[in-house]
Amino acid sequence: MSKKVLITGGSGTVGRNLSELLIRKGYEVAHLSRSQGKNPKIKTYLWNVDKHEIDEHCIDGVSIIVHLAGAGIADSRWTAERKETIIKSRTESIQLVYELLKKYPHQVKTVVSASASGFYSERGSEWMTENNKPNNDFLGHCSVLWEQSVDEAHSLGLRVVKFRTGVILDKNSGALPKMAAPVKFCIGSPLGSGQQFISWIHIDDVVNMYLKGIEDENLSGAYNMSTPNPITNTELTKAIAKTLNKPLWLPHVPTFILKLIFGEMSEVVLGSTRMDVKKILATGFQFKYPNINTALKEIYG
């Protein structure tokens, strides 16, 4: 089988780290992007999802597609237009690729796609397994449409793996720098009640799980992508402060303030999602950083 992987959204944090890992493992990596990439080891094919344009040669020799494309959930306030953009960037993008697979001969056998813990969204302290139903809020609705669009690969006879991703901890991108910044200035504080659960995962475990999804043909369907040990917002804030050797002085940021500032998007930081990962553990996957203190210690050196 060909060892060529095509990644949508390859310029993001997960895409960059996964690309580097795959290249070290001997894979040929290609990206679908709106602009040419700078890594000479990665072939970039151009597409424009809004204009329904895609380089038909992007699937040449490809055996695995990794779908990571999608507008940032928390990049701007959730207007009706922004919500539509968030959904279409995840659904119409993969449909564009599938149209090529229907039209031209290809070697694609597997699609490995991102999904999100937002599938479950606000669930308090209840443990969420892959069998739980989605929430009926925007995050749940978006995740359902996302997964449904990816699942159309079944009609093409392809193996499909979907990772419902929690909060990715990476030093330079995502949620962690935003949480760490006020802590560094000694004004860190838990958000809302602070009791909402965060299903976090170290970036190294993220890319290793994607590699597992690519290489282990026994994997199929949805898997929760999170540490085995979710913690509350208060616990995470305290762990960051401890790792950075900084005090926490301020009281919790009130829920009404967060809702006033972010509107409906406050669900991202106020929602409580506690994901169970027994399903991925049963495949033999081993977490490198299952505990928050070791994860933060590695990230901050």
Task: Kindly list the averaged pLDDT for each block of 10 residues, start to end, along the chain of length 301.
Answer: 89 96 97 91 96 97 97 90 96 98 97 97 96 96 98 98 97 91 88 93 98 98 98 95 89 79 76 96 98 97 88
- Residue 249 is predicted with a pLDDT of 73
Residues 189-219 have pLDDT tens digits of 888 899 999 999 999 999 999 999 999 999 9
pLDDT at residue 2, rounded to an integer: 66
Neighbours of 280 (CB within 10 A): 22
Please give the pLDDT value at position 268: 77
Q: Which two tokens stand for residue 235?
A: 């616990």
Strand, coil or helix: what is 232?
A: strand
Report the distance separating Cα 156 and Cα 153, nearest Å.
5
Question: What domains are there in the chain, each with its CATH number?
Answer: 4-166+202-226+274-287 (3.40.50.720)
Q: What is the pLDDT of residue 49?
A: 95
The CA-based angle 254-255-258, given to 5 degrees, is: 95
Facing residues of 197 across strands? 232
pTM, full prediction: 0.95
Instruction: Give yes or no for a contact between 39 and 33, defined as CB atoms under 8 angstroms apart.
Output: no
CA distance 182 to 178: 8
Half-sphere exposure of 300 (CA within 13 A, CB side): 18
